[in-house]
Structure 1
């Protein structure tokens, strides 16, 4: 009689999270927000809460958490880099197109879930998702004997999960607003610099935001580029001096030695904010809170550190930022926004 090759499978589960669904549904439910930039997520604490909840519901041990998200050109954001550093968490990134749509996320989820099921790595899978595109992943896992437990976010009304996805899952559970609320908070928005007003009351100095400190030196709308000769003539006319070749040469560079913008648009604001936050996050990891605390209260960086921020950002961007004063403003804003958030400091509030 032939011996069976079947080996009993130990109980083990994995958690698969469609972050796009989780964030969008939670933002709408808890904060009435439609954009991620409108709120902040304590991702590390949220993931611990989700794994703790799974541990209380399922038999066996956790294999790992698979976190599926998207980013423009698959370049991870600051928060995504933090998630990728967490133990037992695997970050999977799809592409986020110009319309804000995730591409490739469902295919990656199906590939991971099916591979784990095929190799008998798990007996159960928790799927936190709502899109019907996840249905093939559920069916593929079930074909290998894996039980799929569908989790959803409490809807604002009706349902926020596809009907077929609910039908095909082995169990279904809805995470309540009370469960999710501790991990989502409204983002502090940097104020737009206002017109000059009356001075603050004696003994009560207003704390400017990074935008107010740095962006105030640059006009909101840049004038079109002026030919070098014409610019030199204008300068000389204002000064009452004669136009010479040396005057023309002198006016083709700025007084601090940085090249003058050629009129091309610089990097967009959101991209620069993300890079600034990433550099700050990197410093927090490498240098610790105590060293970063030495920079507070801000928002002006020491020249040496400001130069280092610029160099790190140019490495990340792959091009020079020196012609784009506005982009450097956004870069500093992103840096301070992350530092202020780390230390729980309000931005742009009066002292």
Structure 2
């Protein structure tokens, strides 16, 4: 059969691309346009082999073999089949299990059944050498593609290179048509400055502790982020040992708490979610508001944890959840959109969830009720938001823990989408067929 098949080791392809473009083989350092990448692979394979493409097999690892956002997008593309191996963590590092064996089995099966005349291998693993030799014995021409190495050397097995019928290097210019290095800062820039509080949370860089996995930085307050009329937020709960130092703080300590903390480098550090929770919110009157020691519910290190709702207003507690506003037909449409259009980026996930919630509200007054809770998301809606994010693998690939960066980005995306109606734009008023509970 005059057809060609492409077998892609995603770990090799994307890891080598990350080394080339970002200097280290971490896929988190690059962003990938998968549609452009698949298109480029198909065009190059058909040009090199002179045959029409039968199929592209995409081999990758995933925790418990659960498809991640990129896999969900790839497997609905034309002529693409996704094969997943396991992704396990050992000594703090991720390792693929079963991917090489799956590629070997597919390679030999295609050759044995004479399903194609040419096979393109995008890999560097010498474990595929027996499969490559077997395919050649069945009369299949094997093309081996490499990604340009960052140091100009080879990043493939020498035996694999020697045994291939044809060889090609995918250079930087080809790679950059579909892959680019991500911005190092990880900041989310606001699209408007209509609300200083929104601008503060969207534009602030992530805490170093979130990126490096170190201990959390000490809570600080950015006075410049709050509106001119805002009362400086109180110190975060638990900042004083055993809660006893709250009533013994000196005037100088109060002044330091209200000023930006410049740390040892002289650069203001980034406020934590608890610090941001006080921005734009008046200090509670005696006998009102949340009881002493109440903790804002953002998330826990192991997912969603229910906390006391005594600090929430009755209006916030009564806000409808997205599930209550969604019909069966809309649920199917949402699922289709999640598979085909939502990339799974944490910021985007928060935006999509908030957009659907806004579009299905029958009472625009709910938006104002939510805005008064800023920046705390009412716990029922927040829990639903985190469960929605979990569908995209944002929790599974972190040993069922919510990464600090992901939590920050999910809520930043949520408030970015909510911000437009709050600042005066018209809220879509669509009939909701599901009654509020």
Partner of 2:130 in structure 1?
136
Partner of 1:53 in structure 2?
44
Partner of 1:161 in structure 2?
156
- For the residue of structure 1 that corresponds to 2:94, the secondary structure is coil
- For the residue of structure 2 that corresponds to 1:207, the secondary structure is helix
- For the residue of structure 1 that corresponds to 2:302, the secondary structure is coil
Counterpart-to-counterpart distance in 2, 1:112 and 1:278: 34
Counterpart-to-counterpart distance in 1, 2:167 and 2:67: 31
1:210 touches 1:332 (CA, 8 Å); kept in 2?
no
Q: Post-superposition shift, 1:35?
A: 1.3
Partner of 1:41 in structure 2?
32
Partner of 2:167 in structure 1?
172
2:19 touches 2:25 (CA, 8 Å); kept in 1?
yes
Counterpart-to-counterpart distance in 1, 2:405 and 2:352: 21
1:266-296 deviations in whole A, cap 9, x for unaligned? 259xxxxxx97379569869x89x97xxx9x
- For the residue of structure 1 that corresponds to 2:135, the secondary structure is helix
- For the residue of structure 1 that corresponds to 2:388, the secondary structure is helix
Q: Residues 159 and 58 of structure 1: is their aligned pair in 2 closer, same or farther, counting only changes over 3 Å?
A: same
1:25-77 deviations in whole A, cap 9, x for unaligned? 12212232331111211122011011111111222221110011112332332
- For the residue of structure 2 that corresponds to 1:136, the secondary structure is helix
Q: Post-superposition shift, 1:120?
A: 1.6
Partner of 2:223 in structure 1?
none
- For the residue of structure 2 that corresponds to 1:52, the secondary structure is helix
Q: Post-superposition shift, 1:148?
A: 0.6
2:386 counterpart of 1:310: yes
Question: Which segment drifts farther, 39-48 or 179-188?
Answer: 179-188
Partner of 1:181 in structure 2?
176
Tell me the TM-score normalised to structure 2 length.
0.52
Higher relative contact order (CA 8 A, sep 6+): 1
Give ranges in structure 1 of 5+ residues lacking alignment: 1-9, 194-201, 239-249, 269-274, 341-351
Partner of 2:74 in structure 1?
83
- 1:248-287 aligned within 5 A: 265-266=301-302, 277=345, 280=348
Tell me the TM-score normalised to structure 1 length.
0.63
RMSD between superposed Cα atoms in Å: 4.9
Question: Which segment drifts farther, 300-309 or 20-29?
Answer: 300-309
Q: How many residues align?
A: 282
- 1:183-332 aligned within 5 A: 183-189=178-184, 207-210=199-202, 265-266=301-302, 277=345, 280=348, 306=382, 308-313=384-389, 330-331=406-407
Question: Which segment drifts farther, 25-34 or 127-136?
Answer: 25-34
1:154 touches 1:177 (CA, 8 Å); kept in 2?
yes
1:106 touches 1:134 (CA, 8 Å); kept in 2?
yes
Give ranges in structure 2 of 5+ residues lacking alignment: 208-215, 220-237, 249-289, 305-342, 360-366, 417-437
2:218 counterpart of 1:150: no
- 1:53-132 aligned within 5 A: 53-98=44-89, 99-132=93-126
Question: Which segment drifts farther, 60-69 or 299-308?
Answer: 299-308
